[in-house]
């Protein structure tokens, strides 16, 4: 068998980027490099190893879970079943932090619902004088975050906590899909990613309400689902700026605490 046979199988399974994915999966299963995988005819023993990862992908499991890692802001994060896969759109939150703080500034932040830890670790690495509190309800997700903080060398600058400690910035990509819309999501997401990282309650706004009412920071940066609904919620906080995603939609929203008269 050559890698082209696996490309055909992934194409039949509806994988859009089948050519590259077949190569990445085979490299991962065999511990080989791209050139080796593309050039070679696989032995029976190699085929058995590649079969495992290809059949997982055929069944719709996300590529990142099979490879065990996902890119976020140019760095690799360990991921797997039980933790939300970092999204490219979420990188806009980091751009938003850059609009609010200078690289050498010393500040504290809370990453509420840290998941894989991609936001907290990236802020810590992009802002070397910052320190972070992190909150995560899922024990499975917490294991990935701990591993990512360790691998990226930021564990000592992270404080695990519950609730909303006083700090300079609250940042979050909370679950924001309305419960009734979960069933209509793409299969890869719906069947494989943790529903607790997606489900934002009946109107999708449950966690935004909690963040606005309980935050004890001057600045809040949120990934947005329904931008208008979120802006309408912000009673103690006023909307000040936004960062658009690659599709040109506002994705990261920046709020400041209103000065009480
Ligand atoms: N903060 C994590 C991320 O952005 C997890 C978010 C979530 O689970 N809703 O990927």
pLDDT tens profile 97-152? 999 999 999 999 999 999 999 999 999 999 999 999 999 999 999 999 999 999 99
Query: Among 27-36, 125-134, 227-236, whose mean pLDDT is lowest?
Result: 227-236
Residue 88 lies in a domain: yes
Question: According to the model, what pLDDT value does residue 40 have?
Answer: 81
- Are 240 and 154 in the same domain? yes
Of ligand 1's listed atoms, the one at least distance from the Cα of 83 is 8
Q: Please say whether the dihedral angle defined by the alpha carbons of residues 91, 95, 98 and 99, taken in this order, is positive or negative.
A: negative
- Are 166 and 55 in the same domain? no
Tokens of 223: 């990934």
- Are 124 and 30 in the same domain? no
Task: Give the range of the structural domain holding residue 134, as residue numbers without chain letter.
Answer: 70-257
- Neighbouring-strand partners of residue 160: 134
Indicate the number of domains in the chain: 2
- Are 43 and 133 in the same domain? no
For the stretch 77-101, pLDDT in tens is 999 999 999 999 999 999 999 999 9
Q: What is the 3-state secondary structure (H, E, C) of 49-66?
A: HHHHHHHHHHCCCCHHHH
Q: Which residue has the tokens 């920046």?
A: 254
- Are 24 and 86 in the same domain? no
Ligand 1 contacts (CB < 6 A) are: 84, 86, 90, 113-116, 118-119, 173-175, 197
Answer yes or no: is pLDDT of 154 > 70.
yes
- Using 50, 70 and 90 to split pLDDT, how confident is the model at 246? very high
Residue nearest to atom 5 of ligand 1 (CA): 115
Q: What does the radius of gyration of the chain's CA atoms come to, in whole angstroms?
A: 20
- Are 50 and 74 in the same domain? no
Residue 64 lies in a domain: no
Q: Is 186 helix (H, G, I), strand (E, B) or coil?
A: coil
Q: What percent of the chain has pLDDT over 90?
A: 92
Residue 195 lies in a domain: yes
CA distances in angstroms from 178 to 11, 173, 174, 195, 239, listed in the order given: 32, 15, 12, 11, 22
Tokens of 38: 């593309």
């Amino acid at each position: 068998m050559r890698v082209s046979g696996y490309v055909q199988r992934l194409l039949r399974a509806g994988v859009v980027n089948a050519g590259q994915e077949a190569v990445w999966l085979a490299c991962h299963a065999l511990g080989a490099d791209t050139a080796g995988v593309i050039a070679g005819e696989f032995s029976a023993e190699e085929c058995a190893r590649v079969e495992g990862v290809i059949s997982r992908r055929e069944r719709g499991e996300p590529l990142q879970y099979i490879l065990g890692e996902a890119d976020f802001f140019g760095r690799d994060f360990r991921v797997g079943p039980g933790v939300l896969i970092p999204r490219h759109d979420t990188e806009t939150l980091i751009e938003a932090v850059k609009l609010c703080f200078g690289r050498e500034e010393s500040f504290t932040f809370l990453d509420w619902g840290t998941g894989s830890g991609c936001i907290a670790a990236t802020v810590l690495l992009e802002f070397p004088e910052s320190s972070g509190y992190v909150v995560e309800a899922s024990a499975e997700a917490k294991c990935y975050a701990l591993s990512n903080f360790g691998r990226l060398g930021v564990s000592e600058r992270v404080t695990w906590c519950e609730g909303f400690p006083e700090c300079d910035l609250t940042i979050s990509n909370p679950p924001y899909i309305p419960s009734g819309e979960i069933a209509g999501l793409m299969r890869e997401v719906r069947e494989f990613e943790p529903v607790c990282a997606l489900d934002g309650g009946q109107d999708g706004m449950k966690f935004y309400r909690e963040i606005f009412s309980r935050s004890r920071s001057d600045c809040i940066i949120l990934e947005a689902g329904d931008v208008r609904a979120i802006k309408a919620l912000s009673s103690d906080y006023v909307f000040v700026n936004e960062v658009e995603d690659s599709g040109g939609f506002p994705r990261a929203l920046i709020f400041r605490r209103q000065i009480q008269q």
